[in-house]
Structure 1
Amino acid sequence: MGKGAGIEKVLVTGSTGFIGKRLVAALQEKGFVVRVFLRNESVSEGLFPESVAVVRGGYHDRAALAAAVDGVQRIIHLAGVTKAADEAGFDSGNVYPVQQMLDAVKRHNPDLKRFLLVSSLAAAGPAHEGRVGVREGDTPLPVSAYGRSKLRGEEVCLKSAGSVPVTIVRPPAVYGPGDRDILQIFQMMQKGMLVSAGNASKQRFSMIYVDDLVAGIIDAACSEKAAGRIYYLAAPRPYSWENLIAAVKPAIGFSRLMRITLPRPLVYALGAILGAFGAITGTLPLINRDKANELVQDFWVCSPDRAAAELGFHAETSLEDGAAKTVAWYRDKGWM
């Protein structure tokens, strides 16, 4: 945490998501004064303490953006979309808001200490092999419209690096209390089944527990060394499906697990069929060809070495502890 952090004001976007809520709480615990930028339709009643200031508006609303960025020392831009019908839809959620926010900073808060963009491993694409993983200096090769939009958001951010001190973090799969994506996997396991796509025995993936990610985001937003830099925030080693099963089993308590692995051609076929159906009906399908291309990759793995060396960041929550905390939260909320 930087000097004077106790009196610093931080603006957070995307604060109503499962990461955002934990981030706002952690910032307040560290003594920051927190402001959030919410869409007009976002429900926030009872979500934040009264000490959290709320500015409402859209990213097209210059007056609202001016009010949001005015007087803050740091901005953490977490907002974005993970599902959209096409590239334009992803850009409207992952690129346009970044540009609008940075333009507002240049007009109304030229002394901002840091603009931190929360991007994604998807912007870089998968690794060639699972032991080391992608590093920040590797050429990005995203394999989906979502990943390409996150990369374009990064490019917009870096173009402003000469006038705004920017930092980008790329988390891999994030899990923890409130996450609905890994909930589906845990619910399957509870029923004694696990469905995966591609070469399950070969696949490796990086993950990070939400509270570790939040700590890394705050570290990166406050470190002087982080200006102009990109970081992967992840657990120190990648996991296999077997690692995940072993970690989750004590928490869920299943006795047997039926493994179903969908081969690549079938996953692509399902993606094409469901994607076409979604296009006809105007709905967002559970899987399309683009999502299928993400699911079948072997190595969604990244290296956290730069974050460790420059920020002193280490993801401290083991997969076993993180799974136990997450399952306990799901059960407490009646989700499992």
Structure 2
Amino acid sequence: MESILVTGASGFIGSFIVEEALRRKFAVWAGIRSSSSREYLSDRRIHVLELDFAHPNELRAQLSGHKSTYDKFDYIVHCAGVTKCVDKGEFELVNYLQTKYFIDTLRELNMVPKQFIFISTLSVFGPIHEKNYEPITENDTPAPNTAYGLSKLKAELYLQSIPGFPYVIYRPTGVYGPREKDYFLMAKSIRQHIDFSVGFRRQDLTFVYVKDIVQAVFLGIGKGVSRRAYFLADGEVYRSRAFSDLIRKELGNPLLIRLKCPLIVLKVVSLLAEFWAKRRGKTSTLNSDKYRIMRQRNWQCDITPAIEELGYSPEYKLERGVKETIAWYKDKGWL
């Protein structure tokens, strides 16, 4: 039985990877913080491993203790990270520096796995091809315009700088599905009869259902790929209202007031929300990073390499994925 460690296992993407690893008969370790929720980690076959990425000495002791009992992991999927912060410096600390500490410790302890799978983001490339709306490709030069995207890019570059290190990087576009909380806010707003969109210029959006990310991860493991990076999307391009229209359909077509917000208004609101949240020591869904993400007009990306090299075939177009997601929200009492 091969072993797999999933960091950030209590989170949205990580918890789905854990479930699929169990289904595939891996010995599964869920890497979490001591404060992490275990709501989606109740299966008794899961080995919980508390990891302190913030303190390298503690992390070294935790991993060394594991190695002395179980040996090293065959595969590691590194999902741990942050998408929202009170202080923007936390993006670099958690997404880049703590990833670096983790990799350095694995190398020091001779615990480098067969594959180190890093869940990154399309946001490492930033707003490019905004005039011609061409798909972003792996040959484009990354130009992140958010603290989140920059922190993920730094982690990617560090992985790529280590000679022979067996990384596989996945760069999903907008990820949605059961358990996800940001798109849930859109569904909640539509249920309350408000649909909110941003800007007046054409916006090309792409999405990927969480289970298709999971599919790609295990295809990559099966193919034994190494030192490669792949974009992940469902292969379609959507206009700005496509997601909200499908949510509305699944909610029974409630009466809807559509509000289109000019970018300058969104910028002001986002900065004020960020300032107020920081004063209270909390994160805000609207913030300067989120503003830049919502302002971006071109989210197309080329998934051809994933299709050709991994055999990746997205199973969820947006209509099917939204249907399943809204049904889950309803079943769990979120909506």
TM-score, length-scaled by structure 1: 0.91
What are the residue-to-residue correspondences of 1:117-128 with 2, within 5 Å?
117-128=118-129
Is it true that 1:91 corresponds to 2:89 in the alignment?
Answer: no
- Aligned counterparts of 1:308 and 1:99: Cα–Cα separation in 2: 29
Alignment size in residue pairs: 327
Is it true that 1:26 corresponds to 2:20 in the alignment?
Answer: yes
What are the residue-to-residue correspondences of 1:126-137 with 2, within 5 Å?
126-129=127-130, 132-137=134-139
Q: Deviations over 1:217-255 (max 9, x none)?
A: 22224423x311110011101211232244333311124
What amino acid does structure 1 have at the position aligned with 2:217?
I
Match in the other structure for 2:322: 323
Cα contact 2:72–2:111 (8 A) shared by 1: no
Match in the other structure for 1:247: 246
Say if 1:245 and 1:290 are closer, same or farther in 2 by CA, change over 3 A.
closer
Cα contact 2:73–2:111 (8 A) shared by 1: no
What are the residue-to-residue correspondences of 1:1-336 with 2, within 5 Å?
7-44=1-38, 47-59=41-53, 60=55, 61=58, 62-67=60-65, 70-110=71-111, 112-129=113-130, 132-160=134-162, 162-199=163-200, 202-224=202-224, 226-336=225-335
Q: CA RMSD in A?
A: 2.0
Secondary structure of residue in 2 paired with 1:95? helix
Bigger CA drift: 209-218 or 250-259? 250-259
Task: Quote the offset at 1:335 in angstroms.
Answer: 0.3
Bigger CA drift: 242-251 or 187-196? 242-251
Runs of 4+ in 1 over 6 A off after TM superposition: none
Say if 1:279 and 1:318 are closer, same or farther in 2 by CA, change over 3 A.
closer
Say if 1:67 and 1:168 are closer, same or farther in 2 by CA, change over 3 A.
farther
Cα contact 1:85–1:284 (8 A) shared by 2: yes
What percent of counterpart residues are identical?
A: 31
What amino acid does structure 2 have at the position aligned with 1:190?
R
Bigger CA drift: 85-94 or 142-151? 85-94
What amino acid does structure 2 have at the position aligned with 1:64?
Q
Task: Quote the offset at 1:303 in angstroms.
Answer: 1.7
Q: Deviations over 1:287-333 (max 9, x none)?
A: 23332122111112222111111111121112111111111100011
Secondary structure of residue in 1 paired with 2:28? strand
- Gapped runs of 5+ residues in structure 2? none
- Aligned counterparts of 1:107 and 1:299: Cα–Cα separation in 2: 41
- Gapped runs of 5+ residues in structure 1? 1-6
Say if 1:319 and 1:332 are closer, same or farther in 2 by CA, change over 3 A.
same
Task: Quote the offset at 1:37 in angstroms.
Answer: 1.4
Secondary structure of residue in 2 paired with 1:177? coil
Cα contact 2:8–2:81 (8 A) shared by 1: yes
Cα contact 1:219–1:311 (8 A) shared by 2: yes
Task: Quote the offset at 1:187 in angstroms.
Answer: 1.4
Cα contact 2:10–2:39 (8 A) shared by 1: no
Secondary structure of residue in 1 paired with 2:9? coil
Secondary structure of residue in 1 paired with 2:106? helix
TM-score, length-scaled by structure 2: 0.91
- Aligned counterparts of 1:184 and 1:18: Cα–Cα separation in 2: 15
- Aligned counterparts of 2:297 and 2:112: Cα–Cα separation in 1: 43
- Aligned counterparts of 1:114 and 1:305: Cα–Cα separation in 2: 22
Cα contact 1:14–1:38 (8 A) shared by 2: yes
What amino acid does structure 1 have at the position aligned with 2:63?
L
